[in-house]
Amino acid sequence: MKNIVIGRYVPGKGFLYDLDPRTKLIALLVLMAATFIIDELIHMAAAILLIGVILVIGRISVKRVYLGLRPLLFLLIFTFAFQILFNTQGDLLFETPLYYSPITLGLVVVIVLIWGFTKRFIKFKLLYFLATVFLSLFVLNTFTEPLVFATGTFSIYEDALEMALFIMLRLIIIVTLSTILTITTKPTDLNLGLESVLKPLKVIRVNTEEIAMIISIALRYIPTLLDEANKIMLAQASRGVDFQEGKLKEKVMQIVSLLVPMFIISFKRSDELANAMEARSFIPGHPRTRLHLLTWKTLDTVVLVVSLTLLISSISIRVFL
């Protein structure tokens, strides 16, 4: 439970560490907006290149960013597959017939089963999955006889490919940027920056200090709660709960046996925490002084100007070209 990668600060040096959290937050928003505005593949390539440059100058290991991306692999594959299968706009790029017969379908089932049983031994799961998909398509495409009861076509359209590519690249860019932010910014600083960036919302009566306090406490207690969830799981496993197995009814029971203790402990914890905070003179909504100060440097201005320039140029390209 100690290897959660997303949202985890990693101590280090480099210009990304020196930046003010406010700068990083605003730059993140601005650059994210820019990636949604550009719609040419060449511009997207430029954006990826820029990210690469940031990673190199900021001395952030690509492996770390990949670890941050990994939980999203499923989402990436899903959107890609969805676009390819259902988007039929633009020029037709590729088309091939598929023959459905008991034999071909049977073979596909066998392939999928083999994949299901063997995938845990394979290191490159994504590649292995893609290989399975291609093999299935190949089977459906090649074995034409006998007993074909239906035929279909597998086709890829230009727009589908482009859309799929764009969505993937955008997701990658957004996640990479956010990962850079969380890796290089201490949770306390991040929170302070967030509070400061959100300050304009005070006009519409949003209590930004309270939001910041809630986030800070969440940051503080996430590791504790994960640890606790782990212990509860072990305690129930000691009573014979086998989380790997069980029918649906048992599964429900297993989840209840985790959730009830989790809720009860969390409520007790938050109650005690509230007491401890009040006892130390915390009054919600009251002004407080701050230990941490944010200092704005020239570097921050430079980064902000560059980010804004990128956003403005992407807008101009979209509007005028």
Partner 1 sequence: MKPIIEIKDVSFAYSKQQDVLKNVNLTIQKGEWITILGHNGSGKSTLSKLLIGLLKAKTGTIHVDGIELNEDSVYDIRKKIGIVFQNPDNQFVGVTVRDDIAFGLENLQIPREEMIERIDKFSKKVDMFEYLNKEPQQLSGGQKQRVAIAGILAMKTDVIIFDESTSMLDPKGRKKILEYMKQLNDEGTTIITITHDMKEAVSSDRVVVLKHGEILKVDTSTNILRDKTTLEQSNLELLLPLELLHYMDSNNVDHQSLKDFLWASSLNV
Partner 2 sequence: MGIKFERVSYQYQGIDQRGYLAIGDINLSINAAGEFITLIGETGSGKSTLVQHMNALLLPTEGRMKLFGLTIDKNTKKNKKIKLNPIRKKVGLVFQFPEYQLFEETVLKDIIFGPKNFGVSEEEAIKRAKKMIEVVGLDESYLSRSPFNLSGGEKKRVSIAGILAMEPDVLILDEPTSGLDPMGRNALLEVFYDIHKTLNKTVIIITHDMNTVYEYAQRALVMREGVLVYDGDPLQLFSKKNIDNWNLETPDILALSKAMETKFDITFSTPPRSRKALFTEIKEVLK
User: Which residues lie near partner 1 (CB under 8 A)?
Assistant: 186-188, 216-217, 219-220, 223-224, 227, 269, 272-273, 275-283, 286-293
Of 205 and 247, which has the nearer Cβ to partner 2?
Answer: 247
State how beta strands 150-157 and 92-100 pair: antiparallel
Nearest distance in Å: CB 279, partner 1: 5
The option from partner 2, partner 1, none interacting with 215 (CB < 5 to 8 A, set by class) reads none
Of 29 and 217, which has the nearer Cβ to partner 1?
Answer: 217
Which burial class, exposed, middle or buried, applies to 28 when counting CB atoms under 10 A from its CB (0-12, 13-18, 19+)?
A: middle
Rounded Cα distance between 266 and 223, Å, is 13
Among 240, 247, 290, 293, binds partner 2 (CB under 8 A): 240
Residue 140 φ then ψ, to 5°: -65, -30
Of 125 and 268, which has the nearer Cβ to partner 2?
Answer: 268
> Which two structure tokens, joined as six digits, stand for 122?
């394979």
DSSP 92: E
Q: Name the residue with tokens 């799929």.
A: 164
Of 270 and 316, which has the nearer Cβ to partner 1?
Answer: 270
Window 247 to 286, contacts with partner 2 (CB under 8 A): 256-257, 260-261, 264-265, 268
> Which two structure tokens, joined as six digits, stand for 58?
């900021």
Contact 249, 174 (CB under 8 A): no
Of 188 and 208, which has the nearer Cβ to partner 1?
Answer: 188
Contact 133, 120 (CB under 8 A): no
The option from partner 1, partner 2, none interacting with 205 (CB < 5 to 8 A, set by class) reads none
The option from partner 1, partner 2, none interacting with 241 (CB < 5 to 8 A, set by class) reads partner 2
